[in-house]
Amino acid sequence: MTYDMSGVVAELERRKLLPEHYDTVFASGSLIRGWGNPTSDLDVHVVTRDAWTSGIDETNHVALEPNTLQYEQIFVAGRRWDIEYWTASQVEQVLAKASTEQFDDDQGAWRTLSYHEIALLERLPYAAAADSGAWLEAVRGRLADSAHRSILIVNSLKQADSYTEDAAGQIARGDVHSAVIASRTAFNHAVDALTASLGQFGSLWPKWRARRMQILDPELLPFEEYWAIETMRSFDPENPQKWIEQTIAVCQTISTEVSV
């Protein structure tokens, strides 16, 4: 069951948390995906014409102009709403970075996508509109024609590569404990690449990885095989290197088969 969005705009207006001019209001997160629990907060996004001036001291950096996001936080019927304000220009800049032209360019701006920009790209496909939904529909159409999916895949594969390289070096040095952790992290990123390739995004929210794999149950890595590795079922403390090699072999298969 997902969150009832019908009263979101009215609630923001009542609390004077909407500017006079805005393009859209939408929400994302576990509640919207139907995975929420009693303590889950609602992640509300407001796309404004002009930068919002926040009444709280929370802010985050983005590699955009302006280079910060503004936030508000309220409680509605005992549930916390985290409200994130993006200007329409900031959203346009993120979409421009995710274009196929930028992705095909060796020096493309997609490489400068910051944490919160990637979060936006991962959230948009599952967001629920608090208005007519026309804005979200248009943006999703643009994402479908962009390098959105490829960028999210490559970001995860790059992370997986980095950790497998670490694991190899750590094993060479005899640091098996660290290599186990590096291998496990590499596996997590490789699985994120796999799920992204199949249209389930959310690398920044590893706590929902199993949910995504349950939905997909990919032929390349069926859910039960994934879960066995995730829970380190075959790990033998007497022979950790075997688990490392098996786990990284799965990462290599994913890298071979997932098309960017």
Partner 1 sequence: MTHEDNAGHVTVGPGSVASLPLNVKIRNHRGKTVVGGYEHFFELTDSAAYIWRQIDGTRTVSDIAALIAKEYDIDQESATQDIVDLFAELAAHEVVKIAESDSQP
Which positions touch partner 1 (CB under 8 A)? 157, 161, 164-165, 167-169, 171, 244-245, 248-249, 252, 255-260
Taking the least distance from each CB to partner 1, the nearer of 44 and 98 is 98
Q: To the nearest whole angstrom, how small is the minimum distance from the Cβ of residue 159 to partner 1?
A: 12
The Cα 228–Cα 258 span in angstroms is 21
Taking the least distance from each CB to partner 1, the nearer of 59 and 241 is 241
Instruction: Give the CA count within 13 Å in the CB-facing half-sphere of 82.
Output: 12
In a 10 Å sphere around its CB, with 0-12 CB exposed, 13-18 middle and 19+ buried, how is residue 173 labelled?
A: exposed
Q: To the nearest whole angstrom, how small is the minimum distance from the Cβ of residue 205 to partner 1?
A: 25
- The encoded tokens of residue 67 equal 């280079």
- The encoded tokens of residue 226 equal 């994934």
User: 221 near 254, Cβ under 8 Å?
Assistant: yes
Q: To the nearest whole angstrom, how small is the minimum distance from the Cβ of residue 194 to partner 1?
A: 12
Q: To the nearest whole angstrom, how small is the minimum distance from the Cβ of residue 245 to partner 1?
A: 7
The Cα 171–Cα 241 span in angstroms is 8
Taking the least distance from each CB to partner 1, the nearer of 56 and 260 is 260
Taking the least distance from each CB to partner 1, the nearer of 114 and 253 is 253
